[in-house]
Amino acid sequence: MSKTVLVSSPSHFSQLLNNSTIVVVDSIAPIYEQLSAQLSRPQKIAFAKVDTERQKQVKQTYGVKALPTFMIFKDQQVVSTVEGADPRRLSDVVKKLAAEADADGSGGFGEARKADPGWSGIPLPKGYEDVTDQVDVRGLDLLNSDSNLGDARTLFNASKPSALASGKNNEDPSGSEAKKDWVESDTDEQLMLFIPFQSTLKVHTLQITSLPPKGTEQEDDDIPMRPKTIHLYLNRAHILGFEEADDVSATQTVTLQPHDWNNATGTAKIELRFVKFQKVSSLVLFVAEGDGDREKVRIDRVKIIGEKGEKRELGKLEKIGDEAGE
């Protein structure tokens, strides 16, 4: 669900600028809701919409002349303006500033410090980029997840997982005040995730981050596992049911071993058969087994690495190719 704030008055807008370090203001564009869902942070990064017909004082104060206009504020000052429908530029500007805010909350926009568009658990393969921002978050679907924890959108959050931010992935920050920014399976170890994209992608690699706490007692069966066996299905129009997946050939099946996981970040790299992932409009990721004999699997983040292609009309997924599993 979008976390965008609808500005109701000039005083409301002033209050929003005062309460959040970064405020991004829009005059309506589809990608805006996706950025809002991915990057909003309480009292840190806020997204707002101003109806310039109703809030003419705000329009005049900030010199809004064209629609749509996107204005990015930092510490109550305008640091960037994007006029017109330029979703890629808007995404790049907002994610750069969000990365700076997540780093330490200090320093000005555009300073010498280099900031990636988002946190990454392991280096990107040479020649490819993080295309996770092409995930159509409105169409995500996730089956068999624990409703008390994060949802599908949590997996594509650009920020560092809280288990790493606290520096304590050996303890489960599951107290009532903790930020539960991960996903766990519910009734058994399986998870089914449907990932639609805004454009047709060439997908080279997936990065899966899983940070289960390191238990100290063998009888603690509640500690979740990392994924082990993952089936990938290409260009499905919707999510697969668990029984349905048994009757459909996967485009690729991956078995992760303990040495595949980065010890520092809990991230594993899944290298895909690139020739099969040249025209990807959606992926279904099916975690069939965990790496042990317990009942739950945990995933903190998923990143998509590859190349961006042509934009598609959102809401329409077409089956591409006629190979088994496609």
pLDDT tens for each residue of 116-137: 457 889 999 999 999 999 999 9
Higher pLDDT, 81 or 139: 139
Q: Tokens for 35?
A: 């950025």
Rounded Cα gap, residues 277 and 10, in angstroms? 49
Tell me the residue type at 122: I
7-20 pLDDT, tens digit each: 777 777 778 777 77
- Helical residues (DSSP H) of the chain, grouped into ranges: 10-19, 30-39, 56-61, 87-103, 162-165, 242-246
Contact between residue 318 and residue 311 where contact means Cβ atoms under 8 Å apart: no
**What is the structure's pLDDT at 311?**
66
pLDDT category of residue 312 using cuts at 50, 70 and 90:
low
Angle between helices 87-103 and 30-39 (to 10 degrees): 10
**What is the structure's pLDDT at 166?**
60
**What is the structure's pLDDT at 273?**
95
**What is the structure's pLDDT at 3?**
64
Cα distances (angstroms) measured from residue 184 to each of 116, 214, 216, 251, 291: 27, 15, 20, 24, 14
For the chain, what is the largest distance between any 2 Cα atoms, rounded to a whole number of angstroms?
A: 65
CB atoms near residue 113 (< 10 Å): 12
**What is the structure's pLDDT at 35?**
74
The β-bridge relationship of strands 22-26 and 45-49 is parallel
Higher pLDDT, 133 or 71: 133
Tell me the residue type at 230: I
pLDDT category of residue 191 using cuts at 50, 70 and 90:
very high
**What is the structure's pLDDT at 106?**
40
Question: CA torsion sign, 134 to 137 to 140 to 144?
Answer: positive
Q: Tokens for 48?
A: 């707002």
pLDDT category of residue 176 using cuts at 50, 70 and 90:
very low
Matching residue, tokens 């930020």 = 179
91-122 pLDDT, tens digit each: 777 777 777 666 544 433 333 333 345 788 99
**What is the structure's pLDDT at 310?**
72
Q: Tokens for 258?
A: 């303990």
Q: Answer yes or no: is pLDDT of 177 > 50.
A: no
Ranking 25-39, 55-69, 151-165, 259-273 by mean pLDDT, the lowest is: 25-39
279-307 pLDDT, tens digit each: 999 999 999 999 999 999 999 999 999 99
Q: How far apart are the first and last CA of the chain?
A: 30
Pick from 290, 286, 227: which is nearest to 251 by CA?
286
**What is the structure's pLDDT at 154?**
94
